[in-house]
Every structure is written in structure tokens, then in C-alpha cells.
Amino acid sequence: MEGEVIFWYLMRLTKPTLFTNMPVTCEDRDLPGDLFGRLMKEDPSTIKGAEALMLGEMLTLPQNFGNIFLGETFSSYISVHNDSTQEVKDILVKADLQTSSQRLNLSASNNTVTELKPESCIDDVIHHEVKEIGTHILVCAVSYTTQAGEKLYFRKFFKFQVLKPLDVKTKFYNAETDEVFLEAQIQNITTSPMFMEKVSLEPSMMYNVTELNTVETGDEGTSTFGKMSYLQPMDTRQYLYCLKPKSEFAEKAGVIKGVTVIGKLDIVWKTNLGEKGRLQTSQLQRMAPGYGDVRLSLEMIPDTVNLEEPFDITCKITNCSERTMDLVLEMCNTRSIHWCGVSGRQLGKVSPSASLSLPLKLLSSVQGLQSISGLRLTDTFLKRTYEYDDIAQVCVVCPYMSRES
């Protein structure tokens, strides 16, 4: 049949793997003696001087289609060969990739080849960065015209699965200040080790980010994961980042309320013989803690204080509402915490998103770890009172200890 004059060849382009063998050894006093050792030394696939190692010096070409993982680049070699004695004309080769959501044209050129002589071929190499998991179908189509003027067309389908290489989980921790700590847990769920080339957080426009994955030693930082950043199969690694609102956003308390976009993780890795993969997560979002209409935070507090000795703290009061507030401060003593100063004093009017710094003095009559509580703010406009307990904790110690004689 004239429709069989064109043959189609498809081969996935992947890196070779190092050849492995199964060394067989025995002790010298065993029956084979040094026979196994001599055979392994004569084996061209073994490493000279280390014949007992499974890893060899030779490379093995891929024996099957292999696994394709999300974030890797799929490369394939396509060859259309005229296997007949007839010359064909107007040859058009087209390669499309069908995913669950879209159809992509991967052909390097969509131009028609004028003629294809017998025993000649048309070659093409296609590349595609895989961005979806699940079933993918490579649709290869060829159309051409025979010498008799008959237009023929045929196509082939190559189905393959794209697997997930990494499992990424994130956790958010909100500090007393506006800082946000992000913990990213990354697990290698493939069957081969990975070299983690880069794991970074690209913050949104509201935040600046600081990576907490290095230990400062002199002028240079050392990775907490060591010099060789390998992630073995099914191993998990935890990365930590600290995000701080930019000054122009930190001053506006209402901006960081509700759901805020933190940024996205950018992960780059390499597998066998340097094959690179890259994943970017979607925008990470966190629910900012609700502070109500008035937020009270601590700007300064000592870690340790002496028993029954006054100490100073500095509070920051922020108006998170959309109206002006006229605030009155009341200080209520607890069993262990005693406030120094006048309770019921006027703090004045605070505009929306504005804040004021409030220095206070107090003392503790009980040793140990004590919670600072008992602050009350009253908005005189709405006659609404906001209570603040367990604001922070301070360690109270006795400055003098009786010595036993």
C-alpha cells in the first residue's frame, strides 16, 4: 500500500545511567580461591582497583521510556523515514502534546517539506517543560502527497504518565510582632537521590524574607544540611524562612488583616548525571491573626527581673479599626503582678491605623515565670473595654539567696 511508504520513529532523549554489576567474592581459603577476583579484574565494566564495588565506569543507554516527573524537561527525537522506492512531496510533520487541560504544539517548525527522496528522513527534536501531573498523550501526525497525487495522512499516539517528584508541606507561625515564620517540609518521593540545588522563597510585595537555613561561621555561612546537599528517596528536609512586612505596610495595621499572600517557593534540583528539574508552588497564603479593633504588642521587655524590684516595659497600641478612638488605660493588679503608676489615665485620640508607644512600670511579688496581665483599654466613644491578659512572660528571680552556715 502506498500509505505504508512513510515510517515513523520516536525515541525519548534521556541521560544514560552508570552501569552496575553484581560482584561475587569469596575468601581465599574457599574452593574457588582467587578465581572470582581474577574474573572481576578482567571484566571491562568494573573500576580498576575497586572491582568489588557495584558501580562501574561504563554508561548504559535507557532500556525503556522511564519515569517523567513534574518540573523536568521532556525531550524526544522524532524521525520520519521514506522506506519506499518512491519520492513523496509536501510532507508536514506535526507533534502535539495533549494534557488534561490543554493541547500544546511542540513542533519546532510547521513548514512543509517540499520532497522526501527514498531512504531519506526528516528529523526533529522537541522539548517541553512538564508543568502538569497525570496522563499526557504525544500526538504525532504526518501528511504527504504520493507521486500519483494522492494525499495521505496518518498519526500515532504515545501515552505516558507524569509523576509527582516532591511532596511539599508548609506551616506558618505568627510571632508577637508582625513577623511570620514559614516552615517548608520537602520530601523526595522518587526512587533516586536528588541534589537540591536551590530552595528559595520569593516573597510578595508586602514582605522582606530572611533565610534561616545557614549557620554564620565567620564571613561565610554554612548550610545546616552540610556540604553535600543530597536528599535521599523518601527523606524529608525542613526549610525555615522569616518574613517581615516592609516599613510602608507595617505602619498600616489594616493592610495585614485577613488573608495575605506570602510568596511562592522556588525549588531546583538535579538527578542522575545532572538532569535538572524545577518546581514553583502557587502563591502561599496565610490567615493573619485577628487583633480586633485595638492591638496591644510589646516593643521592649526584659527576660529576667528581680523579685519586688520595679522594671520597665514598653507597649505599642495600634488602632486597627476604621474610626478614631479616644482611649483610657486601666491597670489591674493580679496575684503576682503589681502595676506602678496612675490607673485610669487618658491616652488621647488615636487615628485609624495609627499607633502610640506606651512606657509602663511594674513589679512582681512572686518568683518564677510570671505572666503579665491586667491591662484594660476603654474606648470612650463606644464605651467598649478591651482586656489584655497573658501579654508576655517574665522570669522573676531573687537577687539574694540565704547561705546555709
Instruction: With a cut of 90, say whether residue 264 has pLDDT above it.
Output: yes
Q: Which one-letter DSSP state was computed for residue 20?
A: E
3-class DSSP assignment, residue 253: helix
Q: Do the Cβ atoms of 132 and 72 come closer than 8 Å?
A: no
Give the tens place of pLDDT for each residue, 206-242: 888 999 888 877 667 778 887 778 889 999 999 999 9
Of the ranges 13-27, 92-106, 123-137, 385-399, which one carries the lowest mean pLDDT score? 13-27
Cα separations in angstroms, 160 against 45, 67, 87, 297:
32, 9, 34, 55
pLDDT attached to residue 288: 66
Q: Please classify residue 128 by burial: count the beta carbons closer than 10 Å to its beta carbon, then call 0-12 exposed, 13-18 middle and 19+ buried.
A: middle
Among the ranges 139-148, 163-172, 285-294, which has the highest mean pLDDT value? Answer: 163-172
What is the average pLDDT across 313-333? 89
Task: Using pLDDT thresholds of 50, 70 and 90, give the confidence band for residue 338.
Answer: very high
**What pLDDT is stored for residue 405 in this prediction?**
39
- What b/e sequence results for 94-112 when a residue is b if at least 16 CB atoms lie within 10 Å of its CB, and e otherwise? bbebebeeeeeebbeeeee
pLDDT for residue 158: 86
Q: Say which residue, 75 or 67, is predicted with more confidence.
A: 75
Q: What's the pLDDT at 8?
A: 66
Provide the 3-class DSSP secondary structure of residue 134: strand
Q: Are 94 and 141 in contact (CB under 8 A)?
A: yes
Q: How confident is the model at residue 401 (pLDDT cuts 50, 70, 90)?
A: low
pLDDT tens by residue, 147-167? 888 888 888 888 888 999 999
pLDDT in tens, 26-36: 677 777 777 77
SS (H, E, C) 67-97: CEECCEEEEEEEEEEECCCCCEEEEEEEEEE
* Other CB atoms within 10 Å distance of the CB of residue 213: 16
- Report pLDDT digits (tens) over 166-192: 999 999 887 766 788 999 999 999 988
Ramachandran angles phi, psi of 319, nearest 5°: -85, 105
pLDDT of 127 strictly over 70: yes
Distance CA 178, CA 201 (A): 18
Mean pLDDT, rounded, for 295-319 = 89
Of 275, 320, 319, 7, nearest to 140 (Cα)? Answer: 7
Per-residue model confidence (pLDDT) at position 63: 67
Q: How many angstroms separate the Cα of 196 from the Cα of each of 93, 281, 373?
A: 38, 16, 47
Q: What pLDDT band is residue 252 in, cutting at 50, 70 and 90? A: low
Q: Is 44 within 8 Å of 72 (Cβ atoms)?
A: no
Q: What percent of the chain has pLDDT over 70?
A: 88
- Quote the distance between the C-alpha of residue 347 and its chain's center: 46
Query: Any idea what DSSP says for residue 348?
Result: E
